[in-house]
Structure formats: C-alpha cells, structure tokens
Amino acid sequence: MVVVMAPWARPRQVDAVVRAVRLTGGRAVVSRNGPRTLVGVDGGAPDRDALRRMRGVLHVAAVDAGYRLVSREHSPERSVVEVGGVPIGPGTLTVVAGPCAVETPEQTLAAARMARRAGATLLRGGAYKPRTSPYAFQGLGRRGLEILADVRAEVGLPVVTEVVSAADVDVIAEHADMLQVGARNMQNFALLEAVGDRGLPVLLKRGMTATIEEWLLAAEYVAQRGNLAIVLCERGIRTYETATRNTLDIAAVPVVQRLSHLPVIVDPSHSGGRRDLVLPLSRAAVVAGADGVLVDVHPDPASALCDGPQALVGDDLHRLSDAMAELGRYMDRRPPVRPAAAA
C-alpha cells in the first residue's frame, strides 16, 4: 500500500501517518522528491479509509508491484527530478554530457565547454571508473572530484559523477550534484541503500542483463531509504548482436514510463559504442519520449583514456543540440534553463 501525501502536507501530518501505521504493527517508509511525499506501507496497517481520512493525505493506493514507491499506479503524474536547479522530467528535454573519464583539468574544462555547445545543462564525468579490466584506467578518484568541482565553478554546470563503492558516497556527494550508479552496480544493494540514505539525486543506469522489473526494483532500493529523486537511464542491454556495443532497448522508454513515475533518459553513447550512432540513437530516444540523453564528449577522442570511439567532437556537438531543439519542439518539450550560476 502507498499513502500519497498532498504537496502541502505538513511534516507532522506525515509523522502522524507513520505513527498510525506502526501502531497497528505495520512498517512505514517515507520517501521524498521535491513536493512529492509517499509513505510506503507493508505489514499490518489501519484500514485504507482510516488512512484516507487523515490530514494531509491525498489518497491511498493498493499497489501490487514490488516496486511500489516508484510505481506509476499511485502517481499518474510523472516526476521531475531537479539536479542543482536543472529539471529532468516531463515537459523538458535535458542533455547531460561530458567526458567518460576525468583525465586532466584541461581536458575536463574543454569537455565541459563542449558539453555546453552540445546543449547540455548538466556535466557528467567519471572520477571513479568501473572498468572491465583491472589494467584499464581506473579514474583519478578524489583528485578527479576536485577537478570536477573546479570545472563546475568555472562553467556553471551542475555535476553528475559515478559512485562505485558505498564507502565513497560521502566524499563524492561533497563534490557532485547527482550520483550515478552504473550498469555494473545496478544490483549492488549496499550501494543503492547508501545513495538512498545520502539523499542527493541518483542516476540509475540499467544493468546490462537486467529486466525492466529488476531495474525498477533496484530503484525501489533507493526509494525505500527515503530518496525518491531518481532518474533512470537506459544504456543498452547485452544481446547476441555484436555490431553495436550494446543493443539500445528503445521500447524500454515508453514501457518504463508507463510502469513508473520516474524520469527516463537514454545513453546513446554506451548503447551504440560508436560516434556515428550517437546522433541517430539520440533522435530515436527523443521521439520515443525520453526525458533526456546522456552523451560522451572529448576534446581529443583518439587520446581518450576511456571510451574515445563513442565520444562526440567538433561538428557533432551542434548537430546534437540542433536535433534536440528541433525534435524537442516536436515532442512538446522545452530545453531546460541553465541554473543562474551558469555563465
């Protein structure tokens, strides 16, 4: 069962619902994102009518899905997640861009400027990289976070960066505006709980062999720790096809949007794994209804320490921003406004 609180509900009214549930032996978790406050209930609980009559309660829904807090069953209105003042969700089309890995201050600053040229309002770069090979570049770690924070101050784009271990959540949260959980960690439950506890917006990529239900249950792990500010990212799944790095599951966009109120963006860079596929896959994502795209850019892809072949460069940038602006209008979406700090 999910109790949907009114946007104007007072904290003490939420507390009263939680107390009422606990008094009857139930378990209650409160999850929030902006004006949305949900109380997830399981076990014994007062009857639905009694809960419905409590002050501040908008409605009470019996939700069968295991992913009850992130389900759309109780919240037909889709969510907007704000990242450092930049909205991701219905009505807007958000471009998130940056270098796959933070390598040097100069490379990161150049990539951030490129990201802006590509129409991005959020900068994404990896300081902690989950690499398939232990011999591959693992990221600059803490130094990379400092570079990201400096570049954020210079360019004015809020920062999204990946967290690969629960032990790093706090230090990363001090330097970033959104925490990315990558495909390889989609079912790292301790990590999901840690980013849920931290409360910063979370970008949750789909695991490469995860079903949509497993992906939504992973999001539920974050939500049931109180944090409903989650953006889902379809980044391609592993199939028998080897012509592309992964197979972009474009159907996942409308399917997930029907099942969940959370925003959904698409990563055409890791899906196709090739620069020439990024633009067509981005177009497909927007027309399928995605709330944004996440793309890699690099000032010198040939020398990139990670994922150079899929990084946009040069004319690719304005081609992407033009396509997003044009298709965004067609899909009734406006580009998000950069936060005031942006130059």
Residues that bind ligand PEP (CB under 6 A): 100, 126, 130, 182-184, 205, 235, 270
The DSSP bridge partners found for residue 40 are 2, 29
Residue 88 tokens read as 């991701």
* Distance in Å, CB of 100 to Mn ion, minimum: 4
Beta strands in the chain (DSSP E): 2-5, 26-33, 36-43, 57-61, 81-83, 86-88, 94-98, 122-124, 159-162, 178-181, 202-205, 230-234, 264-266, 292-296
Residue sitting closest to Mn ion (CB) = 100
Q: Nearest-5° angle of CA 74, CA 76, CA 80?
A: 110
235 binds, among ligand PEP, Mn ion, none (CB under 5 to 8 A by kind): ligand PEP
Nearer to Mn ion, 98 or 158 (CB): 98
Q: Give me the least distance between CB of 46 and Mn ion, in Å please.
A: 48
Burial class (CB in 10 A: 0-12, 13-18, 19+), 22: middle
Which CB, 28 or 320, lies closer to Mn ion? 320
Could you give the 3-state DSSP secondary structure of residue 18? helix
Q: Which does 225 bind (CB under 5 to 8 A by kind): ligand PEP, Mn ion, none?
A: none
In which region does residue 139 sit, left (phi positive, over 0), alpha (psi from -120 to 50) or beta (all else)? Answer: left
The amino acid present at 95, given as its one-letter code, is V
Q: Which residue ranges make up the site for Mn ion (CB under 5 A)?
A: 100, 307
Number of residue whose CB is nearest ligand PEP: 182
**Closest CB to ligand PEP among 87 and 126?**
126
Which lies closer to ligand PEP via its Cβ, residue 57 or residue 100? 100
What is the rounded distance in angstroms from the CA atom of residue 129 to the CA atom of residue 143?
13
- 333 contact, one of Mn ion, ligand PEP, none, CB 5-8 Å limit per kind: none
125 or 158: whose CB is closer to Mn ion? 125
Least distance (Å) between residue 21 CB and Mn ion: 43
| Residue 205 or 333 with smaller CB distance to ligand PEP | 205
Q: Is 31 helix (H, G, I), strand (E, B) or coil?
A: strand
CB of 100 to ligand PEP, least distance (A): 5
Say how far apart CA 128 and CA 161 lie, in whole Å.
Answer: 8
User: Helix (H, G, I), strand (E, B), or coil: what is residue 51?
Assistant: helix
Q: Report, in Å, the least distance between residue 310 CB and Mn ion.
A: 8
Least distance CB 78 / Mn ion (angstroms):
27
Q: How far is the CB of 108 from Mn ion (least distance, A)?
A: 14
Q: In terms of CB distance, is 113 or 235 closer to Mn ion?
A: 235
**CA nearest 292: which of 86, 71, 76?**
86
Distance in angstroms (rounded) separating the CA atoms of residues 63 and 74: 7
Out of Mn ion, ligand PEP, none, which partner does residue 205 contact, by CB within 5 to 8 A per kind?
A: ligand PEP
Rounded least distance, CB 197 to ligand PEP, Å:
21
Identity at 131, one-letter amino acid code: R
Q: 130 or 299: whose CB is closer to ligand PEP?
A: 130
